[in-house]
Amino acid sequence: MTGTPAPVARPGLTRRRALTTALAAGATVLGTGALSGCDSASAADESAVRLWDLFSGADGALLNDMVRAARPGMPGTRIQRTVLEWGTPYYTKLAMASAGGRGPDVAVAHMSRLAGYAPTGLVDPWDLDLLADFGVRREDFADAVWSRTQYEGRTYAVPLDTHPFIVFFHPEPVRKAGLLTKDGTLDVDAFSSPDRFLAAGKELARASGKQGIAFGYVTDTAQGWRLFYGLYRQTGGAFTLPPGGPAEVDVDRMAEVIAFMAKVVDGRVNPKRLDYNAGLAAFTNRQTAMTLSGEWELGTYRAADKNVGAAPFPTVFGTPAVYADSHAFVLPHRDHPEAAHRRRAHRAVATLLKAGQIWATAGHIPAYEPVTRTTEYAGLLPQAHYKTAADHVVLDPAVWFAGAGSDFQNAMSQVLQQALLDGLAPDRAARAMVRRLNTFLAKPSPA
């Protein structure tokens, strides 16, 4: 591509609108000083593709490894990372910087947040022809993930990974309980209905001599919602949230799922009052044989049990569905993007995707499927045993107020805790969730 691209149209984006978008999602506003001068020293460096991301710790180190591995594939271009605080502060800063045209060249965002950014013009669409020039095509991604990149027929995100909510297990007690197949993978058929799932929990408790399945959810802002929404979508129930409301949901199916969740954590076979960290400890200390958790905890579990196993979340209610989110690359808005520099940004992202085997070591499922089709990935265990989860992922509803770190997830989890911990009847909990949904829907969208 040559020349200067036409200005990118957007719906009257202003600083006020960007702030409204961020605040509506439950953000804590950062001072304007936090925006001034970000990466200013490199602004004139045409070879630098400035990347904002929220990866610290082990994930941050892996992304550095990916950047190093990508260098030979993008001569004349270097990636300059800026790591910001995870959660609402990150999304506030990204919104404000995009509104003022002072954002980075590329940013990492949760796909579940895209509905609050694409319609408001905070991010620009990707050029699929340009990505294809660098070997990355639409058909390289699972439909379940790619479908969430779209807004009004254009692509506003390029997925880096899928990070699903799955099950981890210690192989010894699971084998003793008769729940492993001959090839050492989990016998998911033994968990394929509510009654079978609960019965499997009893078998796991007997085999471990302690308890069966751990789930940490108390006072957590997302865990209850993650488990609920995946199971609800397994019932075939829809979650249609039209602007202004009311929510179009199946209250009976919601109550059915909540009743099942309460049985999973009834304190008999499986522990009841676990917060997130206690859930981690119950499994790593082998107080339980299995845990319901995000794949992002693989490193923690493998440190405690080098042979730890994992599997996609079982289909308990008939329809395959696995709750997940996805880290994705987005293009913060520019009124007049410079063609050559946008080309460098596309090339940098394409090259990073091809280094996805490095990212997979953390447990994340690379969204770029040519990576997961390699023999190298097939030998990566237990990751290869749950990669099929990417084919059936369900993300948060595509509405502006939902997504990672949102008040919406917290509000839903609060009601679910009342049902699981305090004994709120499942039908009453379902109706309470609907009331909260309608409260969110009654708020005007920033778009």
CATH assignment of the domain containing 338: 3.40.190.10
Residues 300 and 208 in one domain: yes
Residue 1: inside a domain: no
pLDDT tier, 447 (very low <50, low <70, confident <90, very high otherwise)? low
Q: What is the DSSP string of 382-415?
A: THHHHGGGGGGEEPSPSSTT-STT-HHHHHHHHH
CA distance linking residue 301 with residue 283, whole number of Å: 8
On whether residue 224 sits in a domain, the answer given is yes
Kindly report the pTM of this predicted structure: 0.90
Q: Are residues 248 and 283 in the same domain?
A: yes
393 domain-assigned: no
The reply to whether 447 falls in a domain is: no
pLDDT band for position 46 (cuts 50, 70, 90): confident
Q: Average pLDDT, whole number, for the chain? A: 91
Whether 6 maps to a domain, the answer reads: no
The answer on 170 and 202 residing in a single domain is yes
Expressed as residue numbers, the domain containing 233 is: 165-324+406-442
Q: Domain total for the chain?
A: 2
Does 279 share its domain with 362? no
Q: Looking at the structure, tell me whether residues 67 and 187 fall in a common domain.
A: no
Asked if residue 401 belongs to a domain, the reply is no
Is there a contact between 13 and 333 (Cβ–Cβ < 8 Å)?
yes
Range 116-137 burial, b when 16+ CB lie within 10 A, else e: bbbbbbbbbbbbeebbeebebe
For residue 343, being part of any structural domain is answered with yes
The tokens describing 297, both together, are 């905890």
Q: For 201-234, how does the pLDDT look when each residue is reduced to its tens digit (9 = 90+)? A: 999 999 999 999 999 999 999 999 999 999 999 9
pLDDT reading at 440 higher than 70? yes
* 102 against 15, higher pLDDT: 102
Residue 246 lies in a domain: yes
The β-bridge partners of 214 are: 291
Tell me: do 123 and 263 sit in the same domain: no
Q: Are residues 207 and 348 in the same domain?
A: no
Query: Is the same domain home to 381 and 417?
Result: no
Number of other CB atoms surrounding residue 36 within 10 Å:
10
